[in-house]
Amino acid sequence: MPSATPQLLTGLNPEQLAAVTLPPQHALILAGAGSGKTRVLTTRIAWLISTSQAGPHGILAVTFTNKAAKEMLTRLSAMLPINTRGMWIGTFHGLCNRLLRAHYVEAGLPQLFQILDQADQLSAIKRLLKSLNVDDEKFQPRELQHFINAQKEQGARASAVEAWDDFSRKRLELYDAYEQQCQREGVVDFAELLLRSFELLSRNEILCRHYQQRFRHILVDEFQDTNRLQYRWLKLLAGGGACIFGVGDDDQSIYAFRGAEVGNMRDLEREFKIANVIRLEQNYRSHGNILDAANAIIKNNQSRLGKNLWTDAGSGEPIRVSEALSDIDEARWIVEEIKALSRDGHARSECALLYRSNAQSRVLEHALFNAGLPYRVYGGLRFFERQEIKHALAYLRLIANPDDDTAFARVVNFPTRGIGARSLEQLADLAKAQQCSLHAAIGQLTGKAQASLASFAQLIVKMREGSSDLPLPEVVDHVLDLSGLREHYRNEKEGQDRLANLDELISAAANFIMEENRHENSAANAAEQTDLAAFLAHAALEAGEHQAGDSDDAVQLMTVHSAKGLEFNVVFISGLEEGLFPHEQSQLEEKGLEEERRLMYVAVTRARQRLYLSFAQTRMLHGQTRYNLASRFLEEIPPSLLKWLTPKARNDFVAQPKARYASAPASPAMPHQPHSLQRENENGLRVGQNVRHTKFGVGVIVNAEGSGMDARVQVNFGHAGMKWLALSVAKLTPA
């Protein structure tokens, strides 16, 4: 097939050409965002085959998604007249499954072993705990699932993990028991696919040598996302002299929470003695100003292999920056801007709203809903459709109406309280016979079923009585605590997002009351229904409408993590505030901050033509107003690239803190009571104002107390933390 070779190379830039036509050797290709890495990877495979350096069955290519694998196979079929059906191109899990199917006897598995997905694995763990009479409150199924998978991804069986106390010892016993159960039932989970495959090749020298000699070229996409076990698996297969061709971008490594090790790329360079790292820096996606901003941000990371994106498409438009008074104002501004873009001919589907955490979507969704703009939440559920929110709303619905059978069925045993399926079946039969609600039928039950269900009914009564005189936001807060929802998600290893969403529900309630109070007909509404009933109706309406269909021209909403691999003509990055983006948890260690910066780099490079950056001076979090500093990432972008749509650092802003609820105590970190700096004092300082300190740098005044010589202020200095400073001593000047 040599005649096909020149056509394969048409249109490649010099760096792409150098990567594709490398002689047989280990290679590391640093492929920047939008630099054509998929084309390079696929063309490399086609080049190897067309020049007879490898046959289709002598190549192993690893991707991270089935979609990427299918795209690679489709492109190969278009490039070469070959049958790609039998080629080893797929995900780590898919390739390991194929290996184990072929050698199930050597792997110690039944021929028709089944694969457990995440939900199936969790169910298996629950069955195990029940069979061993283990307290699932102490050893929670989901936390145990995370523990088991984390050990497997490190290549560690239960016998290889050290126990340091009774709890860890028991957890390892459960890990071992889980493995025995899976072996008995002939099933494997996702993590087991890779670990079992690695162990098979490690201990079976003949089999290992067979695959080492077969696969002379190993190509790996998204190398920065590999974990330690995946890297060891690749090294093992390459141990017979195969050439590894690793393609990735360490600046886009954003999955450390899933076990990804950005250091694997540097290890590949060192351990395989790669002398010539090829950098794909020409970008075919974004205009120059966008790329210059991305380069300026990411260069602040110390531990990177280094590259600099560029384009010949021109500088394009400046990056637009907006500073809003509040998160609600920020969302309204974004909506108005999208309307203007739509009038100018931009498709709404080419407008993406990115945010750091899922909880931020609620305010944006509300603004889009009110404006009648269709939208779609990519890679996730809309706010009021999320599991934890629906659970919380179900409890609130039962407070308003205990005869709501749908809400009752949803949370009667969530969080788990020992109410079994048989008890619920008896209750449903009785309710049907008596033609009454499930709640009303509880009093007519007898025996053990009656006792456990009566306890739940008493909980609802306690919630109703305890919240009867509370403002709506505090009702929500009260229910989240008393229901056990907060405690349940707090004990989940990955429950932080759900907790943030629950806290955002409090903010939703507070904002709802504020909006209702602004309406002229609020008195009439209050006469017709309670605040709780009105809020529940509002939540149902927002959950039930405006979710765009697949073919609709709709605004795209997503977290930055979900946006990786996507691109849009117009991108809004919202919530650029210290503690939010970068996230406050990341600021505790350098590695965490560097990953946040990589996340910002990914967000910026999603934009093709126009990029908007926005932040708010105040944001309601957990039902409280918080004063914010602009994100450090804004400061890392050269001012020449930015066009401020609002005056930068407006120091004449006078904050008017609002109470969280009428009877809530003041929070020193999040002021909401009248204080001495509502108006300018003799030093020209105000709450909400940016100030500069000689030692701590720039911060924002968030609280104040006292007067005269006793006056002091609390200032949020971002990475330097929160500080109380006496005005008679501290030298604070407007920033």
Query: How far, in Å, CA of 702 to CA of 723, rounded?
Result: 10
Alpha-carbon distance 290 to 607, whole Å? 7
Residue 252 near residue 265 (C-beta atoms within 8 A): no
DSSP bridge pairs for 279: 30
Tokens of 177: 């028991």
Please say if 143 is a catalytic residue.
Answer: no
How far apart are the C-alpha atoms of 124 and 5, rounded to whole Å?
52
Q: Which of 15, 16, 37, 327 is catalytic?
A: 37
Tell me the Cα Rg of the chain: 29
| Tokens read off for 276 | 């010539």
DSSP E strand stretches across 360-498: 375-377
Q: Would you call 282 a catalytic residue per the annotation?
A: no
Tokens representing 515?
Answer: 């909006």
> How many CB atoms lie under 10 A from the CB of residue 85?
8
Q: Which helix (H) or strand (E) holds 697?
A: strand 697-705
3-state SS, residue 70:
helix
Q: Is 465 exposed, middle or buried (0-12, 13-18, 19+ CB in 10 A)?
A: exposed
Distance CA 567, CA 379 (A): 14
The reply to whether 311 belongs to the active site is no
**Partner residues linked to 714 by β-bridges:** 703, 724
Beta strands (DSSP E) in 561-696 are 568-573, 607-621, 624-627, 642-644, 690-693
Backbone angles phi, psi at 64, to 5 degrees: -110, -10
Contact between 243 and 47 (Cβ < 8 Å): no
CA nearest to 474, candidates 499, 518, 515, 505: 505
Task: Measure the N-to-C terminal CA separation of the chain; round to a whole number of Å.
Answer: 67
**For residue 429, what are the CA distances in angstroms to 424, 425, 612?**
9, 6, 57
The question of whether 406 is a catalytic residue gets the answer no
Q: Is the dihedral of CA 74, 80, 81, 83 positive or negative?
A: negative
**Residue 37 falls in the annotated catalytic set:** yes
Q: If 0-12 CB within 10 Å is exposed, 13-18 middle and 19+ buried, where does residue 405 land?
A: middle
Q: Could you tell me how far CA 590 lies from the centroid of its own chain?
A: 20
Distance separating alpha carbons of residues 730 and 694, to the nearest angstrom: 9
Q: What is the distance between the alpha carbons of residues 288 and 568, in angstroms, rounded to a whole number?
A: 15
**Which residue matches tokens 């030093």?**
683
Catalytic-role residue among 151, 252, 618, 689: 252
Edge-first strand order for the sheet with 732-734 is 722-726, 712-716, 697-705, 690-693, 732-734
What is the C-alpha separation between 108 and 445, in angstroms, rounded?
Answer: 51
- Cα–Cα distance measured from residue 123 to residue 142, given in angstroms and rounded to the nearest whole number: 10
Instruction: Identify whether the C-beta of residue 602 lies closer than 8 Å to the C-beta of residue 633.
Output: no
**Catalytic residue (choose from 38, 282, 450, 678):** 38
Question: CA angle at residue 694 from 693 to 698, to 5 degrees?
Answer: 40
Catalytic residue (choose from 15, 153, 189, 222): 222
Active site residue 252: yes
Q: What does the H/E/C string look like for 477-535? A: HHHHHHCCHHHHHHCCCCCHHHHHHHHHHHHHHHHHHHHHHHCCCHHHHHHHCCHHHHH
Backbone angles phi, psi at 419, to 5 degrees: -95, 110
Of the residues 152, 307, 498, 606, which is catalytic?
606
CB 628 within 8 A of CB 618: yes
Catalytic residues: 37-38, 221-222, 252, 606
